[in-house]
Structure 1
Amino acid sequence: MSPFHSMTYATVYIVLTIFVFVIIATKKSPHTIAASFVQEIFTSKKYLFHFAGVLLILFFNKMEMQIEKGMKHRTDFTGSIYSIEGDFVSLIQNLFHNDILTYVSSYFYVIIFPSVMITSIALYTYQKNYKLFYAVCYALMFNYMVAIPFYLFFPVNEVWSFHPNVHLLIVDVFPTFEQDYRPLSGLDNCFPSLHTSISVSMAVIAVRSRSKFWKVFVPCTAAFIIFTIFYLGIHWLSDMCAGLILGVVAARMALRIAEGRLVLGERALIKRRLKNNEY
């Protein structure tokens, strides 16, 4: 029996997975972590502004698919990618094909991927590690801001839809994947791979975390998710390479900007206190 009957089931798994991650990383109840998030939302305009920015870029990603439908003339670059790469993805899929691995890979692709993003925000908020929280927000914005133009003007179809010997293995676990998950990501939204870039960004940021579990677990997760994009027959090698570069650059830029904002904020606070004779 398939564990994923719909996005509703997938959402339940995501929530449960986040709870497990939070408990392991903080040794605290998920309710405590949720309370810290709610407190920041209602007490910090800066926090709310950054969180709203992430939601806004996700909205733009959704709008990209609507804009794409209205574009009449779009060149398909899938054939060019295939002529360069050949049977690489097919070889990976045939070499490792296994029913258990298909279940595990699908779980990482659909459940673990968003769970890591959400848990990162929750964890850094609870730890009051604002540098990493801001870095996650900026990294997500950069990843989508760079990827969306490529999706509009450099469309590349997923491997399984083009290569005759590659199959979309995820439907063995998630039969309604094309109906339920496809509205979140277009068939030709392949280059660069956001599963790769965002996973790598989260990993680069996570190694700065105070949680020993998180700084090891997230990079390992990113590595396995990169494997799943090939094994499940979704992304080309070119997608992964572009995503890897984008993910590293986005994370490094995000960390620098986040650190700069905190320094500026501290200076502004000192000036205000000096002005008010608090020192």
Structure 2
Amino acid sequence: MASPYWVMMGIILILTPAICWLFTLHRKELRTPMSRVGQMIHDQRYYLHMAGYIVIIVWKGITDKLNEPIKGATGHWTDWVYAIEGEPVLWIQQTFENATLTSVLNFHYLFIYLFLIYVTTVYYAYTGERDMTDKVTLNYLLIYAIAVPYYLFFNVEVTSSWIPEMKALLYHDGMYTAFYVSHDPLDNAVPSLHVAIPFGILLLNWMHCRNLGIRVRDWAHYRYHVFIFANTVLFCFTILYLGIHWIVDIPLGMAVGAIGALFIHQIQPRLRNDYGSVFKGMTGKRWRNHFIVEGIATILIVALMMAAVSYQADTGDERPSFRLGPGDSTFEIVQKLDHGETVDLTLTNWHETETLQVILVISENTLEQMEVGDINWDGLAENWAVIEAGPGESIQLEVTQPRVWHLVIMHHPGEEETGVMEVKVLSDYNQDALWKAYLLSIPSLWITAWVVHRLYRMKKSGVHWLTNTPSHTWPNNGESE
């Protein structure tokens, strides 16, 4: 099968013109002639939008590189989520599982999701919707930024790593395994950006129409709105079915999407200079007001994050990292190292009677043994050394090989009656990276505080909460952003 990169390029080349053509069939006058595309990009400064996508790719890379090194300090909260909702996602998977559906949803989860993020910006630009082009571009950039502290400090393992018998239909499947090992730590389950980002687009569409004084169904882009809605609903099912997300990830993803959409809806007119310069109306007093209120709120949330880290430090020894049913296999990712870096791993078998089996292997060497949610343990064991840890015993591993991704594959060899095997994994990357995680989280905390502060000020001033004009334009109001 072709690599994910070339599949994505093919989708972009084929489906981009198809989407733009299909959803403008009823309003052909909205189309931008190809001869004017270059001028449009220049006049509307859409080159900044392109730069925004580059920024988020770099930002995500930095965030992902921090995830594993700080994991020993931040721990995870999977047991809390499991205690709240139990195993209904297992019923969903077992009820609907079939090979064809799995293949379709795997493709949809990876490729259509990425394509929707990109093509929505292109579609709105192509149809002359300057404001919506701005907003959906910011939607991807800022919603990811808002999610950063949750991913770094409130880790939750994917359902297939925690619920026995839950299959990793996406992560244990050849090409998808290779892609996600290098792009997804597998403990960023809460919140779901597959819900947050398209839900943010839906909210932005709705708020835009409210500003225009029309219903969404009367909007020229209503058909495209329905297209996004249908994909959002499908994403909600997909993330549960494939063994990725928990049910609680859906409302939490919607909450993150709502915060991002409100911020974008209200800040975009300032960024476009529709009401004067970006900082028009700002005075020293008003700057101080924002700095004090939103700064204090940000500090309080940072204190909450520090408390969470402290709690994990005090209770981490009581919490397993993985739970395997009899015959189950799963893996821990060891991220790519630079020259001179090392990772020290300790795996402890908490089962009372059964032996834990472990293989340490470069991820690229495992792809043929992963198919449709299953790891072929026997096939791996024929080619790679198996290390065993008896009940209560630990295994010490050291990874030093640079520039490749490694997998620590764990297997529960027991029979059905032996029950669940809990495994504790400690990964020491020998790095002090926690302070970087706090710094990366500040934009998210400030955005959240800004939105809450703005809503409070709007209510106090008697302004409707959907108003997106800068506050210096509010009637009888001396405030400013």
**Cα distance 1:50–1:84, how it changes in 2: closer, same or farther (>3 A)?**
same
What's 2:358 paired with?
Answer: none
**Segment drifting more, 120-129 vs 94-103:** 94-103
Q: Tell me, yes or no, if the aligned pair for 1:37 and 1:125 is still in contact at 8 Å.
A: no
Deviation at residue 189 of structure 1 after TM alignment:
1.6
Q: Kindly report which structure 2 residues correspond to 1:1-279, keeping only aligned pairs within 5 A, or say none.
A: 5-15=2-12, 16-27=14-25, 38-45=38-45, 47-71=46-70, 72-170=72-170, 174-206=173-205, 208=209, 210-262=220-272, 264-265=273-274, 267=276
**Cα distance 1:118–1:100, how it changes in 2: closer, same or farther (>3 A)?**
same
C-alpha distance in 2 between matches for 1:49 and 1:255? 18
Q: Tell me, yes or no, if the aligned pair for 1:143 and 1:198 is still in contact at 8 Å.
A: yes
C-alpha distance in 2 between matches for 1:235 and 1:129? 34
- As a proportion of its length, which structure holds more strand? 2
State the TM-score, normalizing by the size of structure 2. Answer: 0.49
Deviation at residue 136 of structure 1 after TM alignment:
0.9
For structure 2, the 5+ residue unaligned runs are: 210-218, 278-481
What's 2:466 paired with?
Answer: none
For 2:274, the aligned partner's letter is: G
C-alpha distance in 2 between matches for 1:111 and 1:7? 8
Number of equivalent positions: 260
C-alpha distance in 2 between matches for 1:94 and 1:33? 49
Deviation at residue 202 of structure 1 after TM alignment:
2.2
For structure 1, the 5+ residue unaligned runs are: 269-279
Q: Tell me, yes or no, if the aligned pair for 1:33 and 1:123 is still in contact at 8 Å.
A: no
Q: What is the CA RMSD across the aligned residues, in angstroms? A: 2.6
Deviation at residue 23 of structure 1 after TM alignment:
2.3
Matched position secondary structure for 1:52: helix
**Cα distance 1:5–1:161, how it changes in 2: closer, same or farther (>3 A)?**
farther
- Pair member with larger Rg: 2
C-alpha distance in 2 between matches for 1:171 and 1:106? 9
Deviation at residue 34 of structure 1 after TM alignment:
7.3
**Segment drifting more, 157-166 vs 249-258:** 249-258
C-alpha distance in 2 between matches for 1:36 and 1:254? 28
State the TM-score, normalizing by the size of structure 1. Answer: 0.82
For 2:19, the aligned partner's letter is: F
Matched position secondary structure for 1:191: coil
**Cα distance 1:123–1:33, how it changes in 2: closer, same or farther (>3 A)?**
farther
**Cα distance 1:232–1:13, how it changes in 2: closer, same or farther (>3 A)?**
farther
